[in-house]
Structure 1
Amino acid sequence: MSVLGVEGEERDDFSNTESKQIRQRSLRLLGSLLRPVRGQVVLTLVVVVLSTAAQVAGPALIAIGLDTGLPALLAQDWMPLSLTVVAYLVTGAAGAVLIAQYTVLSARISQAILIDLRKRVFLHTQKLSLEFHESYTSGRIISRQTSDLDSIRELLDSGINQLVQGSLYLVFIAGALFLTDWVSGLILMVSLVPLLVLTRWFQIRSQRLFRLSRVASARLIVKFVESMTGIRAVKAFRTEKQNQKEFGGLVEDYRDVNGRVIQLFGIFDPGLVLIGNVTVAAVLLVGGFRVADGQLAIGALLAALLYARRFFDPMEEMAMFYNSYQSAAAALEKISGVLEEEPSVPDPAKPVDLWHAQGTVAFEGAEFAYTKDRVILPEFSLRMPAGQTIALVGSTGAGKSTLAKLIARFYDPTKGRVTLDGIDLRELHPKDLRRAIVMVTQEAYLFSGTVADNIAIGKPDASLEEIQAAARAVGADAFIQGLPNGYDTDVNKRGGRVSAGQRQLISFARAFLADPVVLILDEATSSLDIPSERLVQEGLQTLLADRTAVIIAHRLSTVAIADRVLVMEHGRIVEDGTPADLIGGTGRFAQLHAAWRDSLV
């Protein structure tokens, strides 16, 4: 399924074919989750059958006690009544023990399924390509891991219990009622007609409402996450009131949908009570006349009334199950949609090992396009020899970052191929690819943890001495030593305790510690001030030696350390040469350089 297909699941106007496909996809996911715990499921079903049978035996034993035990007691024979009482107590105790066991077993199954599902969603979304994450908003991903999984948890923790116990309870009670008095059983069967009509009415209307509820909930989460993630822009452009208005509208939509759901239950629940009361009254009326005629024992009538009344007890709980089920089904649809996504940059079926890469990168008839009518990089060929430092320059949107992402294999070319030491990146073993090529982006993201932990991401087994050496090489050691706890300082979420330039230096140290043969710097010096940039450039000149480097920068001062400059415009390489040669010419780079020098003045 494409990314657009997943986004489309936020709609509620599916065709019959689409709805069928989505249901089948959800059932496949559910089946794969149940398969590892099928033994526990069978054991749990056995326990719940026995516990339900023990609970249903009560009214029948009361009838036996009244119709058999009491006459025997009047004849001075206390044994039948005593045995009936003992049997009642034993079945009650057995039912309680089995219910407790069922609760424990079902909880273990639900937790095992949830753990499996949470891991799947997290691991799969990590494996998906950059294209997916650039198209599928972070708020929706968070919604899949939070509210959607919570809906499934509610269904597994209580909804399934209500369904299984309620369904068995209904079947056992109906069977016991027919065995006790078949006429009362027929009355119960007649009451099922209005009951089924009411249930179907509820099902049709609630299905759409619960899906709307999931959509409204997801939109709330998306808006909240986007607002909090972009809080700096919110503050800078004073959009608090606009956000408040938009979020308030989403809250109102969510409230309205939930209000309509509550109204639905406001009709359904009283309807159940009415049907149940009418049924019990009918059993009492007919049974009373039959007792008077001697056709039915008084104990049997009492048992029939108890069974008829108990038959409707689980109905409300089962209605609540349907509430949980609809919410969880909509959530499962969305989660299964994410899990059905295939990476647009898949791992090779038969990977080629490259233990010691040299660093020669080549584009051979490569082209990249998002769609047929949206070609970003027209077909071209290019060779980057090992150890060469190449600067990519050009106006915004020229295709520089796209070219760099092809080298890092964040994307695959639409045509042709990109190679490392003659091996197509699509055939290279993922571990060798990630070890050989590292990209430092403009967004220097820091994870929660210490400064040392963040630097060591590219080499988790690095010693503190290696981490410090990498920091010194890029000029980060001085400010790190000045932090409250040095390398053990917690950078907090998103690096909140260090400046943007300092985060960039830490990301440099992280990349250099990984020691790739190909290093890509995508606008990586944009957050540095002039002194910091000069300090980093000194480190770069040392650390870029004997490795292939691709530097994308708007600051042409960074180009000074390059061996070669590629000038890009509209996805094409329009100039290729050394910095000195291009500056001395009359081409595009000479114009950019002159404009940059004028801006400094």
Structure 2
Amino acid sequence: MSAVPQQKPAADAPTPKRLPPGGQRGGPHGGVGMPAERSMNFGPSARRLLGRLRPQRLQLVAVIALAVLSVGLSVVGPKVLGWATDLIFTGVIGRQLPAGTTADQAVDAARAAGNDSFADMLARMDVVPGVGIDFAALARVLLLALGLYVAASLLMWWQGWLLNGVVQRTVLRLRAEVEDKLNRLPLPYFDRQPRGELLSRVTNDIDNISTSLQQTLSQLLTSLLTVVGVLAMMFWISPLLALVALVAVPVSVVVTTAIAKRSQRQFIAQWAHTGELNGHIEEAFTGHELVKVFGRQREVEAAFTAKNDELFRASFGAQFISGIIMPAMMFVGNLSYVAIAVVGGLRVASGSMSLGDVQAFIQYSRQFTQPLTQVASMANLLQSGVASAERVFAVLDADEQSPDPADPARVRDPHGRVEFAHVSFRYTPDRPLIEDLSLVAEPGHTVAIVGPTGAGKTTLVNLVMRFYELDAGRITLDGVDVTTMSRDDLRGRIGMVLQETWLFGGTIRDNIAYGRPGATEEEIVAAARATFVDRFVRSLPDGYDTVIDEEGSNVSAGEKQLITIARAFLAEPSLLILDEATSSVDTRTEVLLQRAMAALRSDRTSFVIAHRLSTIRDADLILMMEDGRIVEQGTHDELLAAQGAYHRLYRSQFTAAIQPDSEPRPDPEPEPAPLEGSTR
């Protein structure tokens, strides 16, 4: 397997400039990661988010069924309480009437006294003159209401438990899909994405989706069912009062829509600024030491303050504007409540309705406006969740790397022979980097690649690894075109050590064994001895069981580099790539490493990218690159004798500097003295 689990962006790749909000990015993925540049397509994104619940349709059916039963029982409750009110009111009125008379006689007596309104009300009541409140009947009604509400609560709890499982399993699958997607994305995608911005999408945005689904789905379902059930009961009790209550609906819709449109843009900006702020924080803390060394704390703090202020303004605007929805809906609901109370009171006085029905209707009016208010108050949370979902979907919709061949070719006789045949490559269409490059690296040879920054050195080895795809030509490994091989097979034959070391939290043994899972203790120790890791590990109190923290701060930079080199050797690759791999070790250790590599490179090809030319004098072939082309190739002595680009680069490193006040003198061009233990 490959000795390195992740690849840094190529040093030769053009680094995209960090743009202000609203700026456009270039490249094929230019729009990715900048949701604030366009209006959020709320409808399709919301439908797509809800569509992710489809695999758990059975649980959703159960959730809906439980919600229907729970809401149905809750909706019947006010009507039952209305019966209790009628029993109490009838008992109170009955005790005020003379005993021994009938209800009809009481009605006639009221009309004879000129109290027609009271007579009409008595005519609709099941009153018994002289008899007070029937407490036995009242107790039965109240127990029925209590049973209805308890059953409704239990059903609602069960529904919430099922829905919580549905939402969390959906988010679990979403996280897994994003993780799988990140492993299928090509390296150019990560070149264009600030790391903190991408981390924000994978963590903050997915967490926000989980919260939004959890809080909105249950309330939304319950609220809609409550509206339907309450509306049916309201029309059953009094169509006139139901029409009065319905006047509030279009008013509420207009108010909610107007406010939601204004808050929608703020929520998009809020999550975009959150990603930018996370990116800035991640960069600042990753390079904390450099910030301190160069005294750039004030600039970093100023940038943080500016981005934090942008996030504050967007978040404040989003929450404040969307927060207006609740009081606005409460105001509309109170107007409806007043209208229902006045009209209902007049109808009770006229005998058209019973007091219990009016009391039940007022409860229904509250139950009718409350879910509408809840739906409106959830608009901000729903929009925030959909905005986050759109950012996550942007990652899932990004173009993936080209798939591996259905029937991949395999290297039958591995030796490590690498051939570039008329290779051309460019990062952007308008900037050629490598044009018509051809070379052959023979098995067992060490090929050194040198040249100025941006010449295409790292790009060359990245093309071998298929981190980028060629524009033209082909690269073969032991005669097999790398594009016909599976990426896992290709990279499993290559070991790569970067200038930027990567160690994970674990023991030194675990970090070395990462190069080849299943390696024995003897093989791990042998690789450590060959790369001079063993000599400093033995001096540690816990030896190979020493735990390295995530930052690797308990070992030196050179020791970290030696561990990564040991990992690469343990992988036993056919092709070994060292990208400035020895830049963090001292000169003597570097010479010893060269000796170890010379002993271990039998039947293995090595590519060495180096700026320190003293480290590659023993290479079998040195490639001098400029502007993506090989301008010279040969051994160290041959290139020095040619007096060309390599000779000039060599002189720039080893010629003594001329003092400003001294007289001009010929360059001495001294050959550096061999170091102790050198192979020369």
Q: How high is the TM-score relative to the length of structure 2?
A: 0.83
Per-residue deviation, residues 41-70 of structure 1 (Å, max 9, x unmatched): 111111111111111111111223444796
- In the alignment, structure 1 residue 4 sits paired with structure 2 residue 23: no
Per the alignment, residue 292 of structure 1 pairs with 349
Shift of 1:583: 2.7
Superposed displacement of residue 284, structure 1: 1.0
Range moving further from structure 2, 543-552 or 56-65: 56-65
- Shift of the alpha carbon at 1:589? 2.1
Q: Is the 8 A contact 2:452 2:626 kept in 1?
A: yes
The residue aligned with 2:70 is 51
Matched, 1:361 2:380: no
Residue-by-residue CA offset, 1:171-203 (whole Å, 9 max, x unaligned): 211121111211111011111122111111111
d(CA) in 1 for partners of 2:424, 2:44: 37
Q: CA deviation at 1:267?
A: 3.2
Q: Which residue does the alignment assign to 1:445?
A: 502
Query: Which residue of structure 2 lines up, in the alignment, with residue 213 of structure 1?
Result: 270
The answer (yes or no) to whether the contact 1:12–1:208 under 8 Å persists in 2 is no
Aligned length: 594
**CA distance in structure 1 between the aligned counterparts of 2:613 and 2:347, rounded to whole angstroms:** 102
**Where does 1:150-165 land on structure 2 (aligned, <5 Å)?**
150-165=207-222
- Taking the aligned partners of 2:404 and 2:132, their CA distance within structure 1 comes to 85
8 Å CA contact 2:433, 2:456 repeated in 1? yes
Quick check: 1:474–1:505 contact (8 Å CA) kept in 2? yes
**Partner residue of 1:196 out of 230, 236, 253:** 253
1:538–1:485 Cα change, 3 Å: same
Q: How far apart, in 2, do the equivalents of 1:133 and 1:483 lie? A: 37
Counting only pairs closer than 5 Å after superposition, residues 276-315 of structure 1 correspond to structure 2 as 276-315=333-372
| Identity of matched residues, % | 36
- What CA distance in whole angstroms lies between the structure 2 residues aligned with 1:28 and 1:348? 31
Q: Distance in 2 between matches of 1:522 and 1:85?
A: 81
**Residue of 634, 637, 641 corresponding to 1:584:** 641
| Match of residue 309 from structure 2 | 252
Query: Aligned letter for 1:63?
Result: G
Query: Are the counterparts in 2 of residues 401 and 522 from structure 1 also a CA contact under 8 Å?
Result: yes
- Determine the C-alpha separation between the residues in 1 that align with 2:86 and 2:206: 53
2:55 aligns with 36
Query: Which residue, 7, 13, 24 being the options, matches 2:38?
Result: 13
Instruction: Give the stretch that moved more between structures: 478-487 or 43-52.
Output: 478-487
Structure 2 contact 198–275 (Cα < 8 Å) conserved: no
Which residue of 1 is the match for residue 480 of structure 2? 423
Are 1:143 and 1:221, in contact at CA under 8 Å, matched by a contact in 2?
A: yes
Q: Is 2:471 the partner of 1:414? A: yes
Task: Say whether the 8 Å CA contact 2:84–2:141 is kept in structure 1.
Answer: yes
In structure 2, the CA distance between the partners of 1:276 and 1:246, relative to structure 1 (3 Å rule), is same
Report which stretch shifted further, 432-441 or 401-410.
Answer: 432-441
CA distance in 2, matches of 1:581, 1:29: 64
For residues 154 and 430 of structure 1, do their structure 2 counterparts lie closer, same or farther at Cα, with a shift above 3 Å needed? same
How far apart are 1:364 and its partner, in Å? 2.0
Note the 1:272-351 alignment, pairs <5 A.
272-344=329-401, 346-351=403-408
- What amino acid sits opposite 1:518 in the alignment? L
* Structure 1 SS opposite 2:551: helix
SS at match of 2:475: strand
TM-superposed deviation, 1:368: 0.4
| Change in CA separation of 1:3 and 1:25 when aligned onto 2, cut-off 3 Å | farther
Aligned-pair distance for 1:148?
0.8
Partner residue in 1 for 2:630? 573
SS at the partner of 1:549?
Answer: strand
Which residue of the partner structure matches residue 370 of structure 1?
427
Q: 1:83, CA displacement in angstroms?
A: 5.0
Counterpart Cα distance in 2 of 1:245 and 1:88: 62
The residue number in structure 1 matching 2:227 is 170
Kept after mapping to 2: 8 A contact 1:184/1:283:
yes
- Distance in structure 1 (CA, Å) of the matches to 2:275 and 2:546: 36
Whole-angstrom distance in 2 between the partners of 1:107 and 1:156:
9
Tell me, in whole angstroms, the C-alpha distance in 1 between the residues paired with 2:49 and 2:351: 58
Q: Which amino acid is 2:38 matched to?
A: D
- How far has the Cα of 1:517 moved from its partner? 0.1
Contact 2:325 2:377 (8 Å CA) reproduced: no
Q: What does the per-residue CA deviation read over 1:500-546, in whole Å, with 9 as the maximum and x for residues that have no partner?
A: 11111111001110111011111111111111211211211112222
Kept in 2: contact 1:177–1:185 (CA 8 A):
yes
Give the 3 Å change call, closer, same or farther, for CA 125–395 of structure 1 in structure 2. same
Per-residue CA deviations over 1:101-155 (Å, capped at 9, x if unaligned) read 0111111111101111122222221332221112111101110122211211211
Work out the CA distance in 2 between the residues paired with 1:356 and 1:24: 53
Shift of 1:25: 6.1
> What is residue 583 of structure 2 aligned with on the other side?
526
Q: 1:362 to 1:25 in 2, by over 3 A?
A: farther
CA contact (8 A) 1:138 1:222 kept: yes
Q: 1:591 Cα deviation (Å)?
A: 2.9
Q: Which residue identity is paired with 1:13? A: R
CA distance in 1 between counterparts of 2:249 and 2:600 reads 80
What secondary structure, in the 3-state scheme, does the structure 1 residue paired with 2:33 have?
helix
Q: Is the 8 A contact 1:345 1:411 kept in 2?
A: no
Q: Secondary structure at the match of 2:617?
A: helix
Shift of 1:228: 0.7
| 1:44 partner SS | helix
Distance (Å, rounded) in 2 between the aligned partners of 1:193 and 1:398? 67
Superposed, which structure 2 residues align to 1:376-525 within 5 Å? 376-525=433-582
Q: How far apart, CA to CA, are the structure 1 residues paired with 2:185 and 2:576? A: 23
C-alpha contact 2:87 2:133 (8 A) present in aligned 1: no
Residue 358 of structure 1 deviates from its aligned partner by 2.4
> Shift in Å at residue 270 of structure 1?
1.9
Q: Report the secondary structure of 1:336's partner residue.
A: helix
**Offset at 1:76?**
9.7
Contact 1:131 1:344 in 2 (8 A): no
The answer to which structure has the higher helix fraction is: 1
| Alpha-carbon distance in structure 2 between the residues aligned to 1:301 and 1:28 | 44
The amino acid across from 1:6 in the alignment is V
**Separation (CA, whole Å) in 2 of partners of 1:367 and 1:219:** 35
- Greater gyration radius: 2
Q: Measure how far apart 1:80 and its partner are.
A: 6.0
Q: What is the CA distance between 1:272 and its match in structure 2?
A: 1.4
TM-score (normalised: structure 1): 0.94
C-alpha distance 82-249 of structure 1, shift in aligned 2 (>3 A) = same
Q: Which sections of structure 1, spanning at least 5 residues, go unmatched?
A: none
**Quick check: 2:421–2:437 contact (8 Å CA) kept in 1?**
yes
CA distance in 1, matches of 2:458, 2:652: 22
Paired position in structure 1 for 2:119: none
In structure 1, what is the Cα distance between the partners aligned to 2:464 and 2:280? 34
Q: Which moved more, 1:242-251 or 1:60-69?
A: 60-69
SS state of the match for residue 484, structure 2? coil
